[in-house]
Amino acid sequence: MSSEVSGSKIIAKSLYDLGIRHVFGIVGIPVIEVAEACIAQGIKFVAFRNEQAATYAASAYGYLTGKPGVSLVVGGPGVVHALAGAENAKANGFPVMLLAGSAESHQRVKGAFQQLDQVSVAQPYTKFAAQPASVPDVPFLMEKAYRTAYFGRPGCTYLDLPADIIQGKISTNSDSALNTDPGPAPKTMGEPNRIEQAVRVLQSAKSPLLIVGKGAAYGKCEKEVRELHSRTKLPFLPTPMGKGVIPDDDDLNMSAARSAALKSADVILLLGARLNWILHYGEAPRFDPNVKIIQVDIHPEELGNNAGSPHLGIVGDIGLVCQQLLQNGLSSYSAPPILKSIAEKRGNNIQKAEKVESEPDTGKPIKYQQVYKTIRESLGGIVPKTQNIVYVSEGANTMDISRTSFSLNSPRNRLDAGTNATMGVGLGYAIAAKQAQPDDLVVAIEGDSAFGFSAVEIETAVRSKLPMVIYVMNNSGVYHGVDPSAYQEDATKPLPPTALQLDSKYHILAESFGAKGYLASTLDQVKTATLEAVKSNQVAVINVIIDSGKDKKLEFGWMASTKPKL
């Protein structure tokens, strides 16, 4: 017998039949019915407070799971906010499917409610953007948008949902599945002659280096990359989100002598990282101008960019290509020992870092390194060895220093501001991580400025029952704070643009949402708060008042750049 089914039910069932069990977003007219239909269908709707954060969350869920996260938002301004997440997903190669409501088709050029040509607006940031013309088009387009987001280089796709489609009805006489899960993304192997060439080039290297990027983490290629590394003994460098693909604790991790390792390499095997600003374009002065870079990437257009050699690049899945390299000669290859100068530099830098972080608390304002050591050791004392910790970090110094302070021995355990240095991703990423991996401990280490972009999402985490520990590294400023006297009423100079309100009480803000709040300005307080926060198994915000760093100059080492050739 046929019955009337609503467009919103068709949308929800299309999502469910693709295998989707979580949707992140914010409701309003006309998508509230879609969210309700999703919940009725058995999909959890994680309701956010801002479309930016919701879409960041969906994209991190995509990065962690390897299948697109889904973000559902209202039209017009909702889409404009969500574009931040679309662009960030495109820049980072995270799979995400964005769905947004839009005005009824017949009102579209009349100045309708939240009117915007959303398909056109989404196009520059998406791999595919479309609008169904009728309810029966929905399952087909939903499947295409979902699959396109993660086949090939992952990114964002967009589907527009006009109100008349959401509210439309069709007559159907079947309960059968509207879609099927497209399964894992298909993988390709490398071209055989390029594999042989890569082996030859590596075998001839005097100072080879392996660089592991977040593509290797996203591709879940850790088993093959570790095997290649343990057979060849290649010294390696992870990019910030490539950390943990090979354990950070490995003796051949050159992170502590990063600059020297980059500069002295004559052959680089680059696994899933672009030669963008994070890797100084692969160019001099940070790299040897004659370095040969063997790039491995699933995206052919990436090969040869900047200092990459178009002749040496290999298109293929990192896991499969690593196996091919081993089968074609690399399994019997052993990298030459690392240069003495680099080994010394590495040893010295490790010692220096240990000294800085081990400074006792003498009553002076505490510093990042001391705080991070305290957090690391406190977590080490309370978190069972079998429990995975996902670290989320954003900010400037907060993020950079946390990268070196926290060793990662498993992949996909660091989510940070990423390719576009996007501030405001932290809370969304933390919520996504806890939703995707509920057994993990989620620890967010946030600069006070970065935290401010999405601080209200604490309420989302509390309401959604997603426990996590959030540290706000509070120096009352962007980059660094200013002298407290600058805040006095009679101060004559205006505050610098980097200043934030002195010692904001973020822990009290958190308490107002039902989270645990702690204030810590000594290492002992950081320790006690950490232990209590983890034990509470709730959302906890630890407001860590740190040295303002007011006497420091603003420096951006990574900006030291190459000059155009002409």
452-491 residues in contact with Mg ion (CB under 5 A) are 475, 477
Q: Choose, by CB under 6 A, the member of 161, 268, 298, 461 that binds ligand ADP.
A: 298
Part in contact with Mg ion (CB under 5 A); list of ranges 237-245, 439-447, 482-490, 514-522: 439-447
Kindly determine how many residues on this chain lie close enough to bind ligand ADP according to the rule CB under 6 A: 25
> Is residue 393 close enough to count as binding Mg ion by CB under 5 A?
no
- 241 is an interface residue for ligand ADP by CB under 6 A: yes
d(CA 264, CA 257): 11
Angle at 197 between CA 193 and CA 202, to 5 degrees: 150
Do the Cβ atoms of 295 and 307 come closer than 8 Å?
no
Stretch that binds ligand ADP, among 16-24, 99-107, 215-223, 551-559 (CB under 6 A): 215-223
Structure tokens at 60: 């991190």
Does residue 7 bind Mg ion (CB under 5 A)? Answer: no
- Indicate the residue type of 257: A
**SS3 (DSSP) at 249:** coil
Residue 504 contacts Mg ion per CB under 5 A: no
426 binds Mg ion (CB under 5 A): no
Binding pattern for the stretch 182-211 against ligand ADP, x by CB under 6 A and - elsewhere: ------------------------------
Shortest Cβ 71–Mg ion spacing (Å)? 28
Q: Is 545 in the site for ligand ADP (CB under 6 A)?
A: no
d(CA 450, CA 313): 37
Residue of 166, 70, 153, 87 whose CA lies nearest to 122: 87
Q: Is residue 402 near Mg ion by the rule CB under 5 A? A: no
Query: If binding is defined by CB under 5 A, does position 404 make contact with Mg ion?
Result: no
Residue 448: which of ligand ADP, Mg ion, none does it interact with, CB under 5 to 8 A by kind?
Answer: Mg ion
- Give dist(CA 389, CA 376) in Å, integer: 11
Cα–Cα distance, 101 to 75 (Å, whole number)? 5
Could you say whether residue 414 binds ligand ADP (CB under 6 A)? no
The entry of ligand ADP, Mg ion, none near residue 517 (CB within 5 to 8 angstroms by kind) is none
**Residue 129 φ then ψ, to 5°:** -145, 130
Q: Which of 62, 95, 242, 481 binds ligand ADP (CB under 6 A)?
A: 242
Q: How far is CA 189 from the centre of its chain?
A: 26
Contact window for ligand ADP (CB under 6 A) among 52-60, 170-178, 291-299, 346-354? 291-299
Could you write out the three-class secondary structure of 86-135?
Answer: HHHHHHHCCCEEEEEEECCHHHCCCCCCCCCCHHHHHHHHCCEEECCCCH
By CB under 5 A, the count of residues binding Mg ion is 5
Which residue shows structure tokens 């592991």? 212
> Which of 157/474 has CB closer to Mg ion?
474
- In the list 448, 457, 459, 503, the residue contacting Mg ion (rule: CB under 5 A) is 448
Q: How far apart are CA 209 and CA 234, in angstroms?
A: 6
Q: Provide the sign of the torsion angle of the four alpha carbons 128, 96, 297, 207, taken in this order.
A: positive
- Picked from Mg ion, ligand ADP, none, the partner binding residue 475 (CB below 5 to 8 A depending on kind) is Mg ion
Phi, psi of 385 (to 5 degrees): -55, -30
Whole-number Å distance between alpha carbons of 32 and 499: 40
Please answer whether residues 296 and 279 qualify as being in contact, where contact means their C-beta atoms are separated by less than 8 angstroms: no
Selected from 278, 303, 326, 469, the binder of ligand ADP by CB under 6 A is 278
Concatenated DSSP letters for 321-360? HHHHHHHTTGGG--PPPPPHHHHHHHHHHHHHHHHHHT--
* 218, 287, 406, 513: residue in contact with ligand ADP (rule CB under 6 A): 218
Fill in the per-residue mask, 92 to 111: x = in contact with ligand ADP (CB under 6 A), - = not in contact: xx------------------
Residue nearest to ligand ADP (CB): 215
Task: Decide whether 158 or 218 has the Cβ nearer to ligand ADP.
Answer: 218
Residue with tokens 């790039």: 295
- Measure the CA–CA gap between 182 and 28, rounded to whole angstroms: 30
Q: If binding is defined by CB under 6 A, does position 272 make contact with ligand ADP?
A: yes
Q: Does 299 bind ligand ADP (CB under 6 A)?
A: yes
Residue 400 touches Mg ion, criterion: CB under 5 A: no
Q: In a 3-state reduction of DSSP, which class is residue 237?
A: strand
Query: Which residues in this chain contact ligand ADP in the complex, by CB under 6 A?
Result: 92-93, 153, 213-215, 218-219, 221, 239, 241-242, 272-274, 276, 278, 296-299, 302, 317-318, 419
Chain contacts with Mg ion (rule: CB under 5 A)? 447-449, 475, 477
